[in-house]
């Protein structure tokens, strides 16, 4: 029996509705065998993967309109996998990753809930090797830069898994680490463009969609 409470909410993305099972709130925590603790996930951060955040909704909306034909796509920090579900419904070649021990279970449940086939998933860390993951033409993620070490860790992960001509799309609500991440990406040979947009449901409406290409 699971030791946490869940909820199901319907989100309209593009022309489609997506039914998403999430954690009930930020007070949930369940790590009976210590998997999360061994992965460095604290009790305070444990529930964050299991909620739909404004930046995640913004990224999913972007994925409902982006040209994706012929691209291999990776979602990093997928959480509940809303953007991956949007891409799966569009027939994209999508792989999802997260380091949370329950992310795959929630992703598979949500795919089935929306009558979609299972999405390829790998549990992956930004701080270790992921030799089976490969390289991708398009890498996407939302709300990734919320800790001080994340810019460097994410840039290193991207160096290992982005193809030579990859595009990176990050939806960021303004966590304060963007400047450091931009500098890391510039050093790695990426050009950057940024577009401000409202993030649905955010306390601070204006977020940003950052696109890096080389």
70/175 Cα distance (integer angstroms):
33
Whole-number pLDDT of residue 199: 85
- Under the banding of pLDDT at 50, 70 and 90, the label for residue 4 is very high
At how many degrees (to 10) do helices 54-63 and 82-89 cross? 10
Q: Helix (H, G, I), strand (E, B), or coil: what is residue 191?
A: strand
Residue 76 near residue 189 (C-beta atoms within 8 A): no
DSSP 57: H
148/131 Cα distance (integer angstroms):
26
- Under the banding of pLDDT at 50, 70 and 90, the label for residue 197 is confident
Q: What average pLDDT does the segment 165-183 reach?
A: 92
Q: Give 65-88 pLDDT, tens digit per residue.
A: 999 999 999 999 999 999 999 999
Q: Give 16-38 pLDDT, tens digit per residue.
A: 999 999 999 999 999 999 999 99
Mean of all residue pLDDT scores within the chain: 94
Residue 141 near residue 79 (C-beta atoms within 8 A): no
Residue 144 near residue 28 (C-beta atoms within 8 A): no
Residue 156 near residue 124 (C-beta atoms within 8 A): no
135/123 Cα distance (integer angstroms):
15
Whole-number pLDDT of residue 203: 61
Q: What average pLDDT does the segment 46-62 reach?
A: 96
Whole-number pLDDT of residue 168: 98
Residue 88 near residue 121 (C-beta atoms within 8 A): no
Residue 143 near residue 185 (C-beta atoms within 8 A): no
- For the cut 70, the answer to whether the pLDDT of residue 204 exceeds it is no
Q: Give 161-173 pLDDT, tens digit per residue.
A: 999 999 999 999 9
- What pairs with residue 126 in β-bridges? none
DSSP 187: H
Q: Helix (H, G, I), strand (E, B), or coil: what is residue 107?
A: helix
Please, what are the domains in the chain? 49-213 (3.40.50.150)
């Amino acid at each position: 029996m699971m030791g946490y409470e869940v909820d199901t909410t319907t989100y309209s993305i593009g022309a489609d509705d997506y039914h998403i099972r999430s954690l009930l709130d930020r007070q949930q925590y369940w790590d009976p065998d210590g998997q999360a603790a061994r992965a460095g996930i604290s009790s305070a951060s444990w529930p964050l993967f299991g909620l739909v955040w404004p930046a995640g909704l913004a990224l999913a909306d972007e994925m409902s309109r982006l040209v994706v034909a012929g691209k291999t796509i990776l979602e990093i920090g997928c959480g509940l996998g809303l953007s991956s579900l949007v891409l799966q419904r569009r027939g994209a070649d999508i792989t999802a990753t997260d380091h949370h021990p329950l992310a795959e279970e929630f992703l598979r449940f949500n795919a089935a809930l929306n009558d979609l086939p299972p999405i390829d998933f790998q549990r992956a860390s930004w701080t270790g090797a992921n030799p089976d993951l490969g390289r991708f033409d398009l890498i996407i993620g939302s709300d990734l830069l919320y800790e001080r070490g994340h810019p460097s860790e994410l840039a290193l992960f991207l160096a290992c898994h982005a193809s030579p001509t990859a595009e990176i799309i990050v939806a960021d609500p303004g966590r304060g680490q963007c400047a450091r991440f931009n500098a890391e990406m510039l050093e790695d040979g990426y050009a950057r463009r940024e577009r401000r947009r409202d993030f649905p449901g955010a306390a601070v409406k204006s977020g940003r969609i950052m696109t890096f290409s080389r």
